[in-house]
Chain A
Amino acid sequence: MLSGVQRGCAVLRTRDVGHFLIARWTFITVPSPPGSERTRRPRAFLGRRVVWSLLSRECKFHVRGLGRTLCADAGSGLLNPEYDIMTILRYSSIMAHELVGPVMSLASAWRTVRGTRRVTESLPGNPDAAVGPSEIVGSLQLRHVDAGSCNGCELEITSAFGPVYDAERFGARLVASPRHADGLIVTGPVTHNMAGPLRTTLEATPRPRVVIALGDCARDCGVFRGGYGVVGAVSDVIDVDVTIPGCPPDPAAIIGALRGLTQR
């Protein structure tokens, strides 16, 4: 927050002393010079933090800079109409210098955006034949349930919904609550602890619903078959509509299954 001090500048310039005093007054964390280890927990003292936040860079207002400029010339404020042209130019250049900061950050943002090319791969042609209920054609919201997986399939799901494969363009989306979902996407073999919650989650999903078993473990326990903590495959606990084999399945295969459900 105190970028001036945080830059590691140990020289106590006037503005840093001012910042330091204001920070102490507002009881926020004061990074001390290297070597000492004194910080204070920030407290929510509303009034003081409001005033400080208005002066801090985090609000992205450069009133602080202007204030600094104006305070530095306390004797002759900018509002003095008797200024000559040179003084006006000097003050305008100081203010422009303060405004350069946000303008530069906007410009860099724009450059970043323009430089970001589309990374999504185009996927060919038509989806497979429809496999799910007709209601979810065009719009599919899924709730992911990890019934005991090694998280390899989760990484593939993340990749499938990431920029390269971008499952969202086909109308699929991951949601947080099974109440908002059209179906579950279950990974991993079902462990003892997760059997009940899996059934509960399915019960909490409104009909019509689909269950997608993702990965070899969800299909037939994969490498964990016979393990002491495993109840069985997902189809042993709840009814499964779509199975995506693989250990882990390729994101393209996941997308293919989703496209079959959404028909896009």
Chain B
Amino acid sequence: MTSGGLLTCGALLGLAAALVGAALPRRKRVLVTAALVIATCVVESVAAIGVLATGHPAQWHSSQLLPMTGATLALTPLGAMFVVLVALVAVPATLYWIGYARHGMSARLTASSYALFVAALLTVPAAASVATFMFLWEIMALTSLALVLTDQSRRAAARSAGVWYGVITHIGAAFILAAFLILAAHSGGQSFAALESHARALAPGARAAVFLLALVGFGSKAGVVPFHVWLPKAHPEAPSPVSALMSGAMVALGVYGIVLFGDVLLGGGPVWWWLIVLALGAVSALFGSLHAANSTDLKRLLAYSTTDNMGLALLALGASGLFVATGHHRLGALSLVAALFILMSHAMFKGALFLAAGSVQVATGRRDLDELGGLLRRMPQTGALFLIGAASICALPPFNGFVGEWLLFQSLLHGVKLGSTPGDIAIPVAVAALALTAGLTIVAFVKAAGVGFLGRPRSPGAEAAIEVPRSMRAGTGLLGAMCVVAGVAPMAILPAAERAVRATLPDVGSTPLAHGVQLQLVGVRAVLAPTVLAASLVVAVLLVAFLRQALTRRRDVRVAEAWGCGRELVTARMQYTATSFAEPVQRVFDDVLRPVRDIDVSHVAESRYVLESMSYRSRVDDRIESALYTPVITTVRRWGQFARRLQPGSVHRYLAYGLVALVITLAVVAVLG
């Protein structure tokens, strides 16, 4: 079957899964829907791998499906990369869902929304006309909104998160639509091929407007500062497999959109576009990692770190555009490969982290790190998988995050001293942002893994935790295994990424990477041997452990009370909490974070000098939300209150409005003729 045929087959399977999810009774619903969703993912990824292997895009067109415009699907190598990315997260998340469903995710609406969501995620990268793209984008947004609101009847936070998410995602969609419309208006057709060919004739002002609109629209989907405020609200409230999909796959499609507009449709742009992307990426990375380091809610921490990683991807993307705009195509290709690899490894480790966090929430009933602890002993496999995910996101060798950071660092390193002043100024700043982000991510994840999983349980819920069912562990384990494999053998993914990049960027001659056991950059002296590194680490660990065993005289290991300076009672409350762990970082950056401290003091009735009680609350708010969004919301509310006065409920008043409007219209028509 051709790739195009496989593509449609996959879409149909996704639709079938949605119908099955709505139709079947509860006992079989989740299992059958999940099986169909997995089948969809497999079929679509086979189609995508076929496209990547041959390099020929897969096409499919139907003029009946969507009214007036028809539906066009064309899977380019770039889109195929993203389809594989989505499938890599969706299959484990669906496996996880099978075990998770009895915790509130087995309703008809939820099951069918989930299936539709996955199907939309898989097909958005294949969309090849404006109508198809917007249609699928809207389906993706609406189904994910329905999934975020799964728990809304029980929690007010879920309702609020749904509102924020819905509004921001639709404003973003409006921006994207505006960008598409400007392009389509000048091309006379709405297929991407037509847009691409006519876009070069566009005036520079219009091109810049299109790019900026697309940047805002897709940036809000990718969770880039300052449009990120929905991320820390929506991702924690969504059910865990949905959070994994949203954080791993959906935000990556935001970056896909920026690549689509910047490199494919508009065919590259002037340097200042990419400097803006670079700046947004650096700010997002720093902001996200700083807030992740200061969050005590486990899922909020993961959501902020998604902003951080998307910032890194944008950093790579901006560098790529910068190099291409200044004429260094091979380096630009390398940066884009780094961006794609960062997105793929992010999907893997963020998926694993969110699924593990979901398991923790199911087992303990809590999400706050200050109430967890000691979980590695009670949930050994989930804990180990969280540790693998944490090591990957901290970019520690030999996992996949490290390879992505190395690629990004090398591309930035070789981009200095190329003769372009903006690049020479931007790149050291980018390297500094990358480094500080890496350090703060380590703080965040040592905190999450150490306070959450190690030590002693800090609450009865944590103490009573037991390991989750096998399907949930299998889903998380699949993603953890992918992290390890991608770190030890990134050569499995990189050739595909290269092919995608060469099909996207113009004038890239040879591949930027040489294949083989090592990663070698062509034309510059940079080599990374991830397999050898991993193997030597394993050998070294085994050797050192063996030597330790061989050279110790005493064989016994005595279990003793932890040393508490001789105190005879050492309780779980004496451990460091997440708040205290991050306190040095908070103090260093308190100029940026401006933590809010509330101190309530109540005095005894008789005297003002005797305290009855005192409470201290400290929290780190999202300053962008309070500085940018709260004023806008307050203003809109105020105008809304004012507008309410126009609707007192009296029919006479409404009739009068109609009369006045009619008179004014007639007068205008009479005057203008």
Interface residues, chain A, with chain B CB atoms under 8 Å away: 43-47, 135, 145, 177-179, 196-198, 200-201, 203-204, 206-207
Contacts and interface: CB of A to CB of B under 8 A. Distances in A.
The A interface is mostly helix, strand or loop, or mixed, namely helix
A197 B566 contact: yes
A137 to B, nearest CB: 14
Contacts of B655: none
The 8 closest A-B pairs by CB, nearest first: A197-B566, A45-B591, A204-B563, A200-B566, A196-B568, A201-B566, A44-B587, A179-B563
A197 B567 CA distance: 6
Contacts of A45: 591
B612 interface: no
B600 interface: no
B604 interface: no
Nearest to A203: B560
Contacts of B563: 177-179, 204
Contact of B588 (A46, A196, A200): A46
B561 A204 contact: yes
Contacts of A44: 587-588, 590-591
19 contacts: A43-B590, A44-B587, A44-B591, A47-B591, A135-B553, A177-B563, A178-B563, A179-B563, A196-B568, A197-B565, A197-B566, A198-B566, A200-B561, A200-B567, A200-B568, A201-B566, A204-B560, A204-B561, A206-B558
Contact of A46 (B558, B561, B566, B589): B589
Interface of B: 553-554, 558, 560-561, 563, 565-568, 587-591
A197 B591 contact: no
A205 to B, nearest CB: 10
Contact of B568 (A43, A46, A197): A197
Contacts of A201: 566
A47 B590 CA distance: 11
B626 to A, nearest CB: 20
Contacts of B587: 44
Contacts of A145: 566
B592 to A, nearest CB: 8
Given A197-B567, A197-B568, A46 B591 contact: yes
A197 B589 CA distance: 40
A106 to B, nearest CB: 32
Contacts of B565: 197
Contacts of A204: 560-561, 563
B561 A203 contact: yes
A145 B567 CA distance: 13
Nearest to B591: A45
Contacts of A203: 560-561
Contacts of A196: 566, 568
Nearest to B566: A197
A201 B564 CA distance: 9
Contacts of B589: 46
A175 B553 CA distance: 23
B405 to A, nearest CB: 24
A204 B567 CA distance: 12
A222 B561 CA distance: 33
Most buried by A among B558, B563, B568: B563
B489 to A, nearest CB: 41
A188 B588 CA distance: 44
Nearest to B564: A200
Nearest to A206: B558
Contacts of A46: 588-589, 591
A135 to B, nearest CB: 8
B194 to A, nearest CB: 50
Nearest to A177: B563
Contacts of A43: 590
Nearest to B565: A197
A228 to B, nearest CB: 22
Nearest to A48: B591
Contacts of A197: 565-568
